[in-house]
Amino acid sequence: MKKRLVIAGAGHAHMLTMSKLDSFVEAGYEVNVIGSLEYHYYSGMGPGLLGKSYSQEEIRFASKTVAEKMGATFTPGLVKRIDPVARRVYLASGDELPYDILSCNLGSQIAGNLTADPAVDIFPIKPIENLLQARQRILELGFAKKTTVGVVGGGPSAVEIAGNIWRLGQQPGMNPLEIIVFTGNQLLPDYPSGLRRMAYESLQERGVRIEENCRVKAVETGRVVATTGRRYGLDIGLVAIGVTPSTVFKESGIPIGPDGGMLVNRYLQSSAHPAIFGGGDCISFADAQLDKVGVYAVRQGPVIYHNLQAALRGTKLKPFMPKTNYLQIFNMGDETGIFYRSPFFFAGRGSFRLKNYIDHKFMKRFQAFE
């Protein structure tokens, strides 16, 4: 019987493996890709999608088409549970897929539970597809009336989201948007004070209101409620308060790390179940705590690809050696960017152009397989 490789989630960490699925098929393995959607949206360009600088076609990768072109099967659905002993993946649809080797790229979700269901016009910024719906709603309301949009969170995503909502509000004929950022302490608390000032000034100069030291306890239809009890009215809310890994591993009894991600060794392999690999936001790397950023997911891609081949063939695995430093460029929504590679930071149009170039290059490289 053919050995079975299951690729669960076709996100950033699996992009390289997705583009080389044919090498597994040609080697005689049966390959099945599970995807929650037929497309994967590239988060680095998500804020620009919201601001209408990018179209959805520009920022997405056709997971289903690529899997099928490469000779693999694409199974639409959400992984609900994994049985690491029986080696089976269970989907929310009720389908089950057996595997010999499984690789998980199940990403992360917005942390906490600020939003009680059903909340109307409240959008967590993950999955990235939500930004398209938020864009649609902001345009609908913004053309009809003066609209208030709240962004809950104070990290890089919240800053980029606020800047790009401003950009969306520049559509000719639209009513002015009132944009409020609610942040529990300062804006960008983990960044150098000079960089923080740049982000602050960039947003404030464009009329974005920043409510610092405003810890939010609930985001409800039509309002944000602070822990002090104060209520702020809004029409649309976006929640950008950081992420936690997929809960599938915890619910499957697979060992997890302190952040709740699947605990993996230096080979990106489950510490308890050698037939399971993983990468990106859904893992907890045992040797070092890694930030939940796409940069690590993408850097893990070649190691995952190598190790899946090696595990199927029974050859030597390769370790992932994380570098602690990485480049970040924030898209501020006004065609400027803030460049940060510790300890250096600067802002300007050149930074945005560089980000735009890197992001398009990344997308073109993988969209070429569609």
Ligand X SMILES: Cc1cc2nc3c(=O)[nH]c(=O)nc-3n(C[C@H](O)[C@H](O)[C@H](O)COP(=O)(O)OP(=O)(O)OC[C@H]3O[C@@H](n4cnc5c(N)ncnc54)[C@H](O)[C@@H]3O)c2cc1C
Binding site for ligand X (CB under 6 A): 8-13, 34-37, 40, 43-44, 46-47, 78-79, 105-107, 125-127, 157, 246, 248, 280-282, 292-295, 297
Q: How far apart are CA 35 and CA 105, in angstroms?
A: 10
Nearer to ligand X, 109 or 186 (CB): 109
| Beta carbon of residue 318, minimum distance to ligand X (angstroms, whole number) | 19
Q: Which CB, 228 or 342, lies closer to ligand X?
A: 342
Strands 108-110 and 243-245: antiparallel
Contact 48, 54 (CB under 8 A): yes
As measured in angstroms, the least distance from the Cβ of 42 to ligand X is 8
Compute the least distance from the CB of residue 297 to ligand X, in Å.
4
State in angstroms the smallest separation of the CB of 325 from ligand X. Answer: 13
How many residues does this entry show for the chain? Answer: 370
**Residue bearing tokens 């050698």:** 274
Closer to ligand X by CB, 143 or 344: give it: 344
Q: Three-state DSSP class for 23?
A: helix
Nearest CB to ligand X, comparing residues 108 and 172: 108
Q: Cα separation of 40 and 53, whole Å? A: 18
DSSP 3-state of 313: helix
Distances (CA, A) of 346 to 52, 202, 354, 356: 25, 12, 12, 16
Closest CB 327 distance from ligand X, rounded Å: 9
The distance of closest approach from Cβ of residue 175 to ligand X in the complex, given in angstroms and rounded to an integer, is 25
Which of residues 78 and 218 has its CB atom nearest to ligand X in the complex?
78
Which residues contact residue 229 at a Cβ distance below 8 angstroms, ignoring those fewer than 6 apart?
none
- Nearer to ligand X (CB atom), residue 272 or residue 358: 358
What are 160's two structure tokens?
Answer: 């980029």
Q: Which is nearer to ligand X, 44 or 163 (CB)?
A: 44
**Closest C-alpha among 123, 73, 75 to residue 95:** 75
Query: Terminal CA-to-CA distance of the chain, rounded, Å?
Result: 30
List Cβ neighbours of 365 (8 Å cut-off, separation of 6 or more): none
Least distance between ligand X and beta carbon 222 (Å): 24
156-168 and 193-205 helices cross at what angle (nearest 10)? 20
